[in-house]
Every structure is written in C-alpha cells, then in structure tokens.
A = this chain, B = another copy of it.
Amino acid sequence: MTYCVGLLLDAGMVFASDSRTNAGIDQVSSFRKMKIFERPDDRVVVILSSGNLSITQNAISILEQRVRKPELGPTIWDATSMFDVASMLGECLRDVRRRDATFLQESNVDAGASFIFGGQIKGEPPRLFLVYSEGNFIEATRETPYFQIGETKYGKPVIDRIIKLETGLMDAAKCVLVSFDSTMRSNVSVGPPIDLLVYERDTLRAGLLRHITAEDPYFRMIHTQWGEGLRRVFGELPNPYWQDTPQ
C-alpha cells in the first residue's frame, strides 16, 4: 500500500509520501514515491505515486525520456503550464498501461496506478492535480484544497478538521505528519521514511525537503504527544448523561 498527500494552500504547497511497497506480505521494501523536477527560478514540479510500482516508475521514466524526442512537442522542462504537464503524465501512464496491463491481468496483478501532481511553473500560480489510473485528471479547487492517494481514510479526518486555505505551511506540514502517524498506526503496509516537501508560493525553488525516518525526533514527538493529547481530550469529555435514564 501507499499513502500520499498534496495540499494547495494560499501560502504554498505541501507534499508527502511514504516509502513502503509490497508485493505480498513477504516482499516488503522501500522505494521513494516522490519525484521532483526543479529548475530554480523557473519551475518546481512534484509527482507522488500510488499503485503498481512498475507502472508508475515506467510512466515517469517515459515522461523524462520525452526530452530526447523533441518532435513530440513540449517536455516537462519547457511546458508553459502545469495543465499541459498533467496531460503529458496522463498520456505516459496510458502508454505504459497499454503495453503492460494485459500481461499483468493474465497473472491477476492489479495494474492500477495514480498520481498526485503539482507545483508551479513561472507565469502561473501553483496548481495541484490528481491523475487517475485511466490517465484522466482533475484539479484541486479552493473548496477542497488537497488530494490523497493510496490508504486515504485513516488520515483524512485530521486533515478535514485542520486544513483551511489560510493554514500556514509549517502548520500544514505538522498536520500532514499527524495524518501519516494515524495511517501508519492502522495500516502496517504504509511505512516510513516519509518524504516531505514544503513549497513556498512564488519562490520557484523546492524549499524544505526532508526524508523523515521512524527515528526522527520531531516525528516521534508528534506520535507521542498526539496520542497523549487525544486520550486527554477523550478523558475530559463527560460520560453519557443518559446513564440513568434508559429509554
């Protein structure tokens, strides 16, 4: 499994991904699921991957190799809009699935794959997309300024409660780590290290980038204090009023 989150806030963007992949529970390993394309002062483009690892890796490789075929048109390095790059990524995903999906299906292997894709290209505001397995995609709007892929449910309530458009970037990074902590507590197939990127709007530089292991003191502190805090809040809630008034 996998867990990835991308946020699009007034102040910038936050991206995070776990690193655990497994092909059966006896074959667990660690792969980065965050890919960053950065040319300072021009563009920062981030791709987070979920699903079949061969499919997502191949799609991104094809996207990268496109620079060798100028006849195909703009590449990730000279596209003038994030929308155009999202289309390219969707096409690359379709290419790989066209080539591999039937063979995978013959062995009952899921060829599903999806991406959170976002960043900023000079001349545009920051933008965030979700690219589906079929290569189609949607863009985040102000009403729902985030996307999740993979094991999304355990970590969603805290994001829904905390994240607003005006949330500051460090608060948002903190919230994302709480969301990862809840997810990893409930699903062992999501695991550290966590790749975290905090992008400040209009800087056109990757900004804060951290590879957070299970031993990271800040992440451990979050884990402990969040759990203790929840238990404290729970303890402060009064017991049911209607204790002595059966219906």
Interface residues of A (CB under 8 A from B): 153-154, 156-158, 160-162, 170-171, 173-175, 177-178, 182, 185-186, 207-211, 217-218, 221-222, 225-227, 229-234, 236-243, 246-247
Residues of B contacting A233 in the complex (Cβ-Cβ under 8 angstroms)? 225-226, 229-230, 232-233
B157 touching A231, Cβ below 8 Å: no
Contact of A161 among B160, B221, B227 (CB under 8 A): B227
B237 touching A225, Cβ below 8 Å: yes
In the assembled complex, how far is the CB of residue A185 from the closest CB belonging to chain B, in whole angstroms?
Answer: 7
In the assembled complex, how far is the CB of residue A231 from the closest CB belonging to chain B, in whole angstroms?
Answer: 6
* Nearest CB in chain B to that of A241: its residue: B218
* Complex CA–CA separation, A233 to B162 (angstroms): 11
Q: In the assembly, how many copies of this chain are there?
A: 2
Residues of B contacting A217 in the complex (Cβ-Cβ under 8 angstroms)? 241
B222 touching A237, Cβ below 8 Å: yes
In the assembled complex, how far is the CB of residue A230 from the closest CB belonging to chain B, in whole angstroms?
Answer: 6
Contact of A230 among B161, B173, B218 (CB under 8 A): B161
B182 touching A231, Cβ below 8 Å: no
* Complex CA–CA separation, A226 to B231 (angstroms): 11
Contact of A178 among B182, B211, B234 (CB under 8 A): B234
Residues of B contacting A222 in the complex (Cβ-Cβ under 8 angstroms)? 237
In the assembled complex, how far is the CB of residue A3 from the closest CB belonging to chain B, in whole angstroms?
Answer: 12
- Would A239 and B174 be within 8 Å (CB), given that A153-B153, A246-B207, A247-B211 are in contact? yes
Q: 4 other contacts beyond A156-B186, A160-B185, A225-B233, with CB at 8 A cut-off?
A: A153-B154, A170-B243, A210-B246, A226-B233
* Complex CA–CA separation, A229 to B226 (angstroms): 11
Residues of B contacting A207 in the complex (Cβ-Cβ under 8 angstroms)? 246
15 residue pairs A–B, Cβ–Cβ below 8 Å: A153-B186, A154-B156, A154-B157, A157-B182, A158-B230, A161-B227, A162-B234, A171-B239, A174-B237, A177-B240, A178-B234, A210-B242, A210-B246, A210-B247, A230-B230
